[in-house]
Amino acid sequence: MNEPIFIFYYIVAGLGVGFLAGLVGIGGGGMAVPIFAFLFSIQAVADAEVVHLALGTSMASMIITTLGSMRAHYKKKNVDSTMAIKMLGGILVGTFCATFVASYLQGVYLAGFFSVFMLYVAYKMFRSTEHEYNPNPHGVIGNITTGSVIGSISALVSISGAGLIIPYLIKQNYEVKRAIGTSAAIGFPIALSGSLGYMINGWENTNWDNLVLGYIYLPAMISFSISSFLTTSLGVRCADLFPSKILKKIVGILCVLLSFKMLLQVLN
């Protein structure tokens, strides 16, 4: 399984996904999962473990990038610490518990859920919406409950939750920059909790000879996360060259392609 050529593939994939994540303003988890699933399938990984390993490795790969994003937004004072703390309890519990559910589901069902979710994100990107003032924002219980739902979905599709948290915060009357910064602060704990869950629930799959820790393939995680971290800032700078409407369409097209790619990969 540990063939050197695949390290090169993971580095190239990380460079591309990091750039796209910075360009379109969403985490690279949704893009990384189908790539990992494809590469693992040609690396002699058992079919029953491909999707789980792809989800766990993708989640672990987000730790470094989400940490960097969280620190950057905190320095710019774009983080509402109070809201982050309110949502954090529900998000951590939801994320961790969902990894238990994922470990018992067959790969084809997880791939199906991932594909449907990507299509939903694509729909949101192509749909033009105007946010109006919400006279009845959620209280503490509503924030915790919403956090647990977002955490659960994030774990099942291996994302940092930004695509769900940002729209939610905007509906809670947050300005966009404040919503993005607060979402970044929450993304790091999601990555940590999800990675821990996939490691524990996949512990029987651990193979030290192949550097597999639970449902996390360490060589892929390390090479991918470092390379993606290097190009994310470049993508952010290039984003200024494109109107937001065009970027949203790019995200939508990517989500449709990734949705069908993931489903076809598992079905085949």
Kindly indicate the confidence band of residue 187, based on its pLDDT and cuts at 50, 70 and 90.
confident
d(C-alpha 122, C-alpha 119), whole Å: 5
Query: At how many degrees (to 10) do helices 29-41 and 140-157 cross?
Result: 30
What pLDDT was estimated at residue 8? 93
pLDDT bin (cut points 50, 70, 90) of residue 214 is very high
Nearest to 26 by CA among 68, 85, 67, 66: 66
pLDDT in tens, 25-67: 566 677 888 889 889 988 877 667 888 999 999 999 988 878 8
How far apart are alpha carbons 160 and 153 in whole angstroms? 10
What does pLDDT average to over the chain?
84
Provide the greatest CA pair distance for the chain. 57
Instruction: Tell me what the mean pLDDT of segment 203-227 comes to.
Output: 92
What whole-number distance in Å separates Cα of residue 107 and Cα of residue 104? 9
* 139 or 57: which leads in pLDDT: 57
Q: Alpha carbon of 80 to those of 74, 83, 131, 182: distances in Å?
A: 9, 6, 20, 6
Residues of the domain holding 196: 4-267
Q: Quick one: pLDDT at residue 66?
A: 81
Q: Say if residues 93 and 197 touch (Cβ distance below 8 Å).
A: no
% of the chain surpassing 90 pLDDT:
22
What is the pLDDT, as a whole number, of residue 12? 94
Tell me the C-alpha distance between 89 and 87, whole Å. Answer: 6
Lowest mean pLDDT among 120-134, 136-150, 218-232: 120-134
| Length of the chain (residues) | 268
Residue 1: its pLDDT value, please? 64
pLDDT of residue 24: 65
For residue 165, with 0-12 CB atoms within 10 Å meaning exposed, 13-18 middle and 19 or more buried, which class applies?
buried
* pLDDT level of residue 11 (50, 70, 90 thresholds): very high
pLDDT, tens digit (0-9, with 9 covering 90-100), for 64-118: 878 877 887 788 788 898 999 989 889 889 999 999 888 888 888 888 888 888 8
pLDDT for the residue numbered 2: 63
Q: How many domains does the chain have?
A: 1
Residue ranges in the chain assigned as alpha helix (H): 4-24, 29-41, 47-75, 81-104, 107-126, 140-157, 162-171, 176-201, 218-239, 244-267
Q: Are 151 and 101 in contact (CB under 8 A)?
A: no
User: What's the pLDDT tens digit per position in 140-174?
Assistant: 899 899 999 999 988 888 877 877 888 888 888 88
